[in-house]
Structure 1
């Protein structure tokens, strides 16, 4: 049983939940906070009293509707459908991550829209919290990785596509060409990283399930605004 005094500060409660010690502001993706203690307000991106903070730390208009700023004092519990949750620290660095995997980050980090569709880039110094389908492993370039296992990359150039043409020209490639069955996999298509830095991989090729960020489930019970719509 947890209470405000016994919950950890800026650390994992268990592998699937993270406790943020809030004393100021954090940027938070909608749908990732499961409970909180204290006096905390949530402000939308693009309007409200925190425009100066948002202007300095949020630069992704395509994702503005998916994020809020949590402001106040207390403890927030973050989780995402029982996926693994971890925190990471950047020190004057940059890290690009799948947009659905990023749960929250501290001001001091600036969020920007990556040129790679479906990814966001954090630049600066601070802590962020992210989810993954299984444990995360760090590997050094040069390396080729399965696109479904890729969580993100830090302090290295963006990847390029690599296709195994010998594989595609083989028997399986011919069957795909004739029947349309099958599809791209990590065995024939990879992301190739070169240069210095680190690549973050989750320990499965199954991506985290997509869902409408902040949406109210159709199965929500009576008394939940928007339920059944």
Structure 2
């Protein structure tokens, strides 16, 4: 009976970790954008640091329970190489999505109706949609590469993995934040955009990271399978 109860609680603890970690990440990442818009003195570097460091902290906090995905693109990449069961992957993405909506609602409460004009902290595209899509695909591929190399590969440095992942997000935001928004994570924008009924660029931030997650298959073929032989 105790084993059965443990088997039932275990996955739900992981789902709760994904929800909480994603909630905090989206709250801080989008909140830093809104703070910069309304009060200034944050800038692209401040937004990049807030986004990357919050992700690092949340991965450290949640990885013992769920692996610290906090990103549907990462979960999809791991599912594609059979590193996570289908049922668990579905619940992970559901938890991440729910967290995105809750974070958006919290930001709306904090900043008020004026946040609606800025899609509750979701970025806007200032280049063509095609260029923005390519940027999101490439940078998400880089993110997936670092996740696999540090957190999944047995030869990886798991203790510093979350820091490496956060640094990728920092530099990606500095480089592409003013261009595509450097989202790399559908959960980062899904709640804010749908809550504000702003669908113009939603496809870019869904399709781009999803395509970038395919790099997990490439990493698995080039490195993980060879290391098993």
- TM-score surpassing 0.5? no
- Relative to the length of structure 1, the TM-score reads 0.24
Tell me: higher relative CO, structure 1 or 2? Use CA pairs within 8 A at least 6 residues apart.
2
- Which structure dedicates a bigger proportion of its chain to strand? 1
Structure having the higher helix fraction is: 2
Greater gyration radius: 1
- Please report the TM-score for the alignment, with normalisation by the length of structure 2: 0.24
